[in-house]
Amino acid sequence: MASRAARALRRFEPPPRAVDWSIFALVVFETLSGVLSLGAGHPANGVLFVAHGVAGLSLILLVGFKLYRVRHRVLDSRLRDRHTALSVLLAVVALAALGTGVAWVLGVEVRIAFWTLLNVHIGFGLLVLPVLFVHLRARFRPPRRVDFADRRRALQYGAILVFGAATYRATETVGSLRGVGRRFTGSRPLPPGEGNDAFPVTSWVADDPDPVDPDSWSLSVAGLVDRPLELDRGDLAPDETWSALLDCTSGWYTEQDWTGVRLGDALDTAGFHSSARWVTVRSVTGFRWSFPIAEAREMLLATRVGGDPLSHGHGAPLRLVAPNRRGFQWVKWVDTVEVRRRRDPAQWLAVLVSGFG
């Protein structure tokens, strides 16, 4: 029975070189789509997460073909060479990335230190690509047209994608049956609650400043404006309360009432130039993010959450509330709003080094 199943499965297996390059293509796609998903908070981005999941599960089948093919080179000590250890490392990292992703969808609850299983999945996923590139240097074989170009190959890849899509649907169904409620981003809901204690304190990379002195703090509104502003606490009397959902890339979400002032009101008071297209919101840590000006006008500069004054960990004295954006884009400890003609290119460096200064 097992041998018949193995023979039937091999009918769906593309040639070795096609498998290898298909794995490479899917790993690149998974890395890029995974990175893009970290900033995809709008429901319209849901297709990106579906594609990421289907591609990842299709990758499982291709990795299975690959491991079955090379198993003797690993298990038989006489066939090992100086690159075998790297091949084993790549297999372990790839299987860890795929396994933790599936486990998260199925509702497995595991924490490693303060990291959720989703954090671990992201970490392994980011590690796969550089290890794969090093592996390719050791065992590079260029792709050949003959390995991809015929009707049978199209049927094989069609079957692999059907497997990925069917498995994706099955894991989603199993997760639902286990009572795992997730948004399209994969994030799970936190228990009901209000205010600072209702959701965890998280920071991007090394952002962990000392508490900001509210008496010496001020908000600068500058850039392409007619009247640059320096606003202290007294100038920012909160006058609006919004219900908005905070979706953290650590894998949780919460819906809270946020109180503050509309960012659009501050921009209107400063008066922005007709050439302005972007608004950069910056933290005291140097972390920043840029938003199209029309979207930024509909954001909130919050001083309270759930009726409580913001705690330091949640961004006091002022944090951005950015609906339909992921949590790391809800900039905390805001001290500057800059109106710009173009997106701030320094934000890409800031996300890596902010907080280290």
* Phi, then psi, of 253 in degrees rounded to 5: -145, 155
Nearest residue to 23 via CA among 62, 51, 55, 64? 62
What would you report as the CA-atom Rg of the chain, rounded to the nearest whole angstrom?
Answer: 25
Residues 212, 216, 221, 223, CA torsion sign: negative
Nearest residue to 301 via CA among 255, 237, 347, 350? 237
- Kindly report, residue by residue over 65-91, the tens digit of the pLDDT: 999 888 898 898 888 888 899 999 999
Look up tokens 């209702």; give the residue: 198
Contact, 291 vs 276, CB < 8 A? Answer: no
At 339 the pLDDT is 97
For residue 154, name the pLDDT band (cuts at 50, 70, 90). confident
Q: Can you say how many angstroms the Cα of residue 152 is from the centroid of all Cα atoms in its chain?
A: 36
Of the CA atoms within 13 Å of residue 89, those in its CB half-sphere come to 14
For residue 3, name the pLDDT band (cuts at 50, 70, 90). low
User: Which residue blocks in 139-276 are alpha helix, DSSP H?
Assistant: 151-177, 263-270
Q: Which residues contact 72 (CB under 8 A, 6 or more apart)?
A: 79
With 60 as the cut, is the pLDDT of residue 349 above it? yes
- Kindly report, residue by residue over 157-193, the tens digit of the pLDDT: 888 999 999 999 999 898 888 887 889 999 999 999 9
At 352 the pLDDT is 80
Cα separation of the two ends of the chain: 63
Beta strand 111-112 with 334-340 is unpaired
Contact, 315 vs 335, CB < 8 A? Answer: no
Q: What is the mean pLDDT of residues 34-38?
A: 93
Residues in the chain: 357
From residue 57, how far is each of 11, 63, 223, 251, 342 by CA, in Å?
Answer: 19, 10, 47, 20, 38
pTM: 0.88
**Which two tokens mark 21?**
């390059």
For 336, the enclosing helix (H) or strand (E) is strand 334-340
Beta strand 334-340 with 219-223 is parallel
Nearest residue to 271 via CA among 344, 320, 339, 342? 339
For residue 8, name the pLDDT band (cuts at 50, 70, 90). low
Residues 6, 8, 9, 10, CA torsion sign: positive
At 6 the pLDDT is 59
Q: Which stretch, 145-149, 201-205, 218-222, has highest mean pLDDT?
A: 218-222
For residue 9, name the pLDDT band (cuts at 50, 70, 90). low
For residue 356, name the pLDDT band (cuts at 50, 70, 90). low
With 80 as the cut, is the pLDDT of residue 106 above it? yes
